[in-house]
Amino acid sequence: MTSPAAGQALPVDPDLPLLCLALGVVVLVGVALARRTGLPDPVVLVTVGLAASFLPNAPVLDLPPDVVFLVFLPPLLYRASFLTDLATLRRIATPLALLSVGLVLATAVAVAGVVAALVPGVSFAQGLVLGAVVAPTDPVAASGVFKRLGAPRFVVDLVEGESLINDATALVLFAVAVEAVVGGRPSVAHTAATLVLSVGGGVAVGTAIGALVLLSRTRLSDVGLQLLLTLFTPYAAYVLAERVDVSGVLAVVVAGLMLGSRGGVFTAAARLQSAAFWSLLDLVLNAVLFVLLGLQVRRVVGDTPQLGAHALALYAVAVVGTVAGVRVLWQFAVPPPVYGLRRLFGRPQASSSAAERLVIGWTGMRGAVSLAAALAIPRDVPERALLLFLTIAVVLATLVLQGTTLPLLLRLTGLSGDAGHEEQERQARTALAEVALARLDELEAQGDITADGAQPLRRVWEQALDRLAEDDDRMPDPEVDLVGLRLELARVQGEELDRLRGRDGLHPEVVRELQTELDLQRVRLSDRHG
């Protein structure tokens, strides 16, 4: 390939800006419909994308595979790993390893066997590519249901932790499977060496990037630079790892885990702005991915006309049934004997109940990572269109069937949120109130504040301790009234600021600073007031 001459502009499709604008409109419509209908976002977004593909002159978007992985995966994986607690992962290490490593391999092999047996001309290696694509789960739909209806903390932690670790496992396997299809059948020794090098190298690169970013953060006080560094981190980890032929996915995950466990290096302002920024970025990337998938459904189906509708339906049902069935069977066949072996060797592990295993087995929805991996299948992989079609079928079927029936299953099994979680919150709030009162005593003893000045705050925290010590919801709650009063004061202050905004001589920067302070108060107080 020859590069453009010096000073020569790179060719740009004149319709590209219009295409990007149209894609943005489709994404906005899809997200708005999802919020209004209450259906899972991915289902609505894929449907809207599919509907848009039937519009006159609808574009055919075919992103290069490398672009899909580079643009979408690093930030999605980084945010998920950043929000994951390392102590929680260690506590559930055994069931987590069974799901995120053992089940991923079992699912991939089972799907490969089914596809190779059913579809003429498809090899086991091609089936393994599909198996690696559909093996990782997406916690978005399950987490939404858990937040609405509640679920045991063990189930929530395991499902969310699994979706993080199994992404890395599946995508490493995906790279090996693609190499086997494109480059020929590798030996077992070569495959094992590739896996070890990819995993070990990815962990090493992620650790190095995490350490460098931690060192840099302690020397940055500017909020904008801190936010820019958080955006740079996942891409740096991914690109550098891929450059040395190790797992970029694992590098991103390890860096995110390291930095997420040390959130204290962020300033308070940076934490607030970072949370809002990453929440928006996660929403946009997921929405664009699902809409792009919907836009490609029509073309993908059109690329497989020789198979026929009945054959496509048969293959889709077989693969979906394999993915869902293997997960449920795994939950009842593997964890119980593993827990038994641990007890036999004197290392007991708190085992899950049959109801919990059933719910975990049914939370196997697939999502953004499977879509990104499917779109990133190289074009020279035989039957790529069929593999894309089957991925779409798995994602839609698991989201619709499992995502919509999970609430019913939770109710039938009688599972609900842990009382222990509420007790932990009560104890933590008590400790915070006590340390606040102790600090007030110290400041008063040092003469930094008078007794009269400390009394209003002392009264607030003493009332909080009284409420926390009393386990009676009928008890009067003066703090709620105080929060409501502060909200009302913030409201009238906002109205006054709007009036002052047009006054001559009041600098816009002053208005923005005051508006930010009032907005933060309103958000914080609204969360407490319910």
Q: What is the pLDDT of residues 42-90, one digit of tens each?
A: 778 778 887 887 777 766 666 666 777 788 888 888 888 887 777 778 8
Do both 467 and 506 map to the same domain? Answer: no
Per residue, the 3-state secondary structure of 95-152, as one string, reads: HHHHHHHHHHHHHHHHHHHHHHHHCCCCCHHHHHHHHHHHCCCCCHHHHHHHHHHCCC
CB distance 223 to 269 below 8 Å: yes
Do both 465 and 490 map to the same domain? Answer: no
Confidence tier at 478 by pLDDT (50, 70, 90) = very low
Cβ neighbours of 1 (radius 10 Å):
2
Do both 262 and 397 map to the same domain? Answer: yes
For the segment 382-388, the average pLDDT, to the nearest whole number, is 86
Q: To 5 degrees, how large is the angle CA 420–CA 423–CA 425?
A: 115
Do both 456 and 485 map to the same domain? Answer: no
Instruction: Please choose, from the candidates 334, 329, 327, the residue with its C-alpha nearest in 3D space to the C-alpha of residue 394.
Output: 327
Helix (H) / strand (E) element for 225: namely: helix 223-243
Of residues 296 and 247, more confidently modeled: 247
Do both 508 and 373 map to the same domain? Answer: no
Do both 508 and 384 map to the same domain? Answer: no
pTM over the 0.75 mark: no
Q: Rounded to an integer, what distance in angstroms lies between the CA atom of residue 314 and that of residue 330?
A: 24
Residue 232: predicted pLDDT = 92
Residue 215: predicted pLDDT = 85
The answer to whether residue 2 is domain-embedded is no
The answer to whether residue 325 is domain-embedded is yes
Q: What percent of the chain stands above pLDDT 70? A: 78
Instruction: Please choose, from the candidates 115, 160, 117, 154, the residue with its C-alpha nearest in 3D space to the C-alpha of residue 134.
Output: 115
Q: Where are the beta strands (DSSP E) in 356-464?
A: none
Domain of residue 399, CATH code? 1.20.1530.20
Confidence tier at 337 by pLDDT (50, 70, 90) = confident
Angle between helices 368-375 and 384-397 (to 10 degrees): 170
CB distance 181 to 125 below 8 Å: yes
Do both 115 and 244 map to the same domain? Answer: yes
The answer to whether residue 147 is domain-embedded is yes
- Residue 121 belongs to what domain range? 16-405
Do both 469 and 485 map to the same domain? Answer: no
Do both 135 and 109 map to the same domain? Answer: yes
Whether 257 has a pLDDT exceeding 60, the answer reads: yes
Q: What tokens does 15 get?
A: 């319709």
Q: What is the pLDDT of residues 294-331, one digit of tens each?
A: 777 777 767 665 777 788 889 999 999 999 999 999 99
Torsion of CA 97, 99, 102, 107, to 10 degrees: -160
Do both 390 and 498 map to the same domain? Answer: no
Number of domain units in the chain: 3
Q: What tokens does 37 get?
A: 């209908």
The answer to whether residue 90 is domain-embedded is yes
Torsion of CA 257, 260, 261, 265, to 10 degrees: 140
List b or e across 451-479, with b for residues whose CB sees 16 or more CB atoms inside 10 angstroms.
eeebeeebeebebbeebbeeeeeeeeeeb
The answer to whether residue 167 is domain-embedded is yes
Query: Which of 360, 380, 405 marks a domain boundary?
Result: 405
Sign, CA torsion 268/271/273/276: negative
The answer to whether residue 411 is domain-embedded is no
Give the CA distances from residue 7 to residues 3, 4, 10, 16, 152, in Å, rounded to whole numbers and listed in that order: 11, 8, 9, 22, 62
Whether 346 has a pLDDT exceeding 80, the answer reads: no
Do both 463 and 486 map to the same domain? Answer: no
For the segment 150-173, the average pLDDT, to the nearest whole number, is 81
Query: Which of 372, 405, 438 marks a domain boundary?
Result: 405
The answer to whether residue 10 is domain-embedded is no
Of the listed ranges 2-11, 235-244, 506-515, the least confidently predicted one is 2-11
Sign, CA torsion 176/178/182/188: positive
The answer to whether residue 529 is domain-embedded is yes
Query: Which of 364, 381, 405 marks a domain boundary?
Result: 405
Do both 359 and 393 map to the same domain? Answer: yes
Confidence tier at 2 by pLDDT (50, 70, 90) = very low
Torsion of CA 465, 470, 472, 478, to 10 degrees: -30
Confidence tier at 333 by pLDDT (50, 70, 90) = very high
Of residues 232 and 264, more confidently modeled: 232
Provide the residue type at 131 as one letter: G
Instruction: Please choose, from the candidates 215, 252, 259, the residue with its C-alpha nearest in 3D space to the C-alpha of residue 236.
Output: 252
